A and B are shown apart, each in its own frame.
Chain A
Amino acid sequence: MFGPVLLKNIDVADGHLVSTYEAGGGYQALEKALREYTPDEVIDLVKRSNLRGRGGAGFPTGMKWGFVPKRTGKPTYLCCNADEGEPGTFKDRIIMERDPHQLIEGLAVSAYAIGAETAYVYIRGEYVTAIRRLQQAIAEAHAKGYLGKRVLGSDFNFAVHIHCGAGAYICGEETAMLESLEGKRAQPRLKPPFPAVAGLYASPTVINNVETLACVPHIIMRGSDWFRGIGPDKSPGPKLYCLSGQVRKPGLYELPMGIQLRELVENHAGGALPGRRIKAVIPGGVSAPVIPEHGLEVRMDFDSLAAAGSMLGSAGVIVIDDSTCMVKVATRIIEFFHHESCGKCTPCREGLNWVVKVLRRIEAGEGATGDLEQLDMLCKGIFGNTFCALGDGAAMGLRAALAHFRAEFVAHIEDRRCPFH
């Protein structure tokens, strides 16, 4: 029987305080890691757990840590990606607001493993409560000896700093985040070199998502077999699913990786609103291609969703019912990507501008013959032709909307009006 792990303290009164965290066994994983394991043993443990990054790409965390070169003469940095900006996603905010020490312990164990003495938590500036809670938690952890010089009497020194973002979605892309941390406009870097070799200040750098880091103390305490025993072997572990949109019980759900999307939406989140029918679901934030109702048997893990033509992404599950116009949803999604394009790559900067104009025209009932073919052509011109995945996400999302709900687009053009108005 699966019980919450990452969210076990979320509804506890004063769950953000170190005393509450300690009372629930908090910081024992840090102590265990420092006393019983070498850094390489921690990396091996995480590799054996098959923890895959929860930020969206699903790269194996232990393998990423293993790429960090040793004895380079430069400091190694750990960066926490807390710039949660994918529409439909709010899991990291809730961890930071209600159980920030879980993140700090994850940071400390991870930093010990990769040999970092400094971590920067890049947190979106809008998250004022999370920022304050994390600041307070960092101060508490220092006072308790979990951070600072000679952590828990060991030779490990570790400092955590908060770096506030200022409202740019692109900062969630890891190399753009590094640019932003270096005080520049957040524009992605060409890879290679990968951050593990030349990241922040050209030093070895690991970038992990909040949820990924929060998993680490539990792997230390319960072991890699426990983690691998949850969900599918290729992408195991507990997973946070964000449910929002036109659904009865929106909220954050912790369930095994690989749960069926239909079970998640209909059983756990209560299904469609009264009198309505689910039409489609976006399974992983707006970058993830939409899945029509008949596809909801898919499993919520990296590989199953990829095989189904979508992706797990941030697990930001947005439910859309039969009262909603899919042209409108697609337009709003592309408006988002257009607004958030950093402007570095021409296909993304100019292509999305063009796509938005065509979509707005269609939505307004002013579409023309050939508009859909033009959208297909624009998607082809954007996808795969940009530095980062922002353009790809936009193109994939629009392609899926056009493929699954083409009749709605055609109706707008032929009837010269939105059929939902």
Chain B
Amino acid sequence: MTMREKIEEAAARYPDQRSAIMPALLIAQEEHGHLPGPVLEEVADILGVERIWVYELATFYTLFHTEPVGMFHLQLCDNVSCMLCGSEDLLDHLETVLGIRKGDTTPDGLFTLSTVECLGACEMAPVMQVGDDYHAHLDVARINALLDSLRATVGAASVEHASARLPGE
């Protein structure tokens, strides 16, 4: 299905097209990786709604990214339960091994590092979301293994390129 077809299918669930803006933005973000202005305008045009309505939502909700993010978006939870179980130390470790501060993307575009509010998985703290997946009961060793496995999912040439840029490797 094209993006337009997916959005039109989602919109059929609502009596008012404006309700479909959030589902449409999620579909568009999955398609494009992030939501630059022309994509927001395309969503508005498909739904036949005011463009400002689409901009309003894209800038209010934290899961919508109007700027590009890395291939792997590391979203470390640092709310109370994860903090009590050591997420601060894990953030320090991630910043060190990736060579970036939270909010930044590695120069090779592989990793974006963020801290996020509660992921709703406090029984498995500390927790980090990468793409669709939750990674639980994290410690330094598990973080390192996770980064290795993520790098392994990209092509060998890209891995070499990425590793060369990553301090602490």
**A residues neighboring B (CB under 8 Å):** 84-90, 93, 124-129, 161, 163-169, 180-186, 201, 242-246, 250-252, 282, 286, 316, 318-320, 324, 328-329, 332-333, 336, 339-340
Contact = CB atoms under 8 A, between A and B. Distances in A.
Contacts of A332: 78-80, 83
Contacts of B20: 183
A404 to B, nearest CB: 16
B80 A87 contact: yes
Contacts of A242: 122-123
A166 B62 contact: yes
Interface string B113-135: 00011111111110001001110
Contacts of A340: 117
Contact of A90 (B49, B78, B117, B123): B123
B22 A318 contact: no
Given A125-B63, A286-B80, A336-B118, 19 more contacts: A89-B118, A90-B120, A90-B122, A126-B129, A129-B134, A166-B62, A167-B61, A167-B117, A169-B117, A182-B16, A183-B20, A183-B22, A183-B57, A244-B84, A246-B84, A252-B123, A316-B122, A328-B83, A329-B84
Contacts of A184: 18, 53, 56-57
Given A93-B120, A127-B120, A164 B80 contact: no
Q: Which interface residue of B78, B79, B118 has the most chain A CB atoms within 10 A?
A: B118
B72 interface: no
Given A87-B79, A87-B80, A244-B81, A183 B18 contact: yes
A329 B61 CA distance: 25
B19 A84 contact: no
Interface of B: 13, 15-23, 25-26, 49, 53, 56-57, 60-64, 78-81, 83-85, 116-125, 129, 132-134
B117 A164 contact: no
B19 A126 contact: no
Contact of B120 (A126, A164, A328, A339): A126
B128 to A, nearest CB: 12
Contact of B18 (A88, A129, A182, A328): A182
8 tightest A-B contacts by CB? A166-B61, A183-B18, A244-B122, A167-B62, A87-B118, A167-B63, A244-B81, A128-B132
B49 to A, nearest CB: 8
Contact of A245 (B53, B57, B84, B119): B84
23 contacts: A85-B118, A90-B120, A90-B121, A124-B120, A126-B63, A129-B132, A161-B13, A163-B13, A164-B23, A165-B22, A166-B26, A167-B62, A168-B62, A182-B18, A183-B18, A185-B56, A186-B61, A250-B125, A316-B122, A318-B122, A332-B83, A336-B80, A340-B117
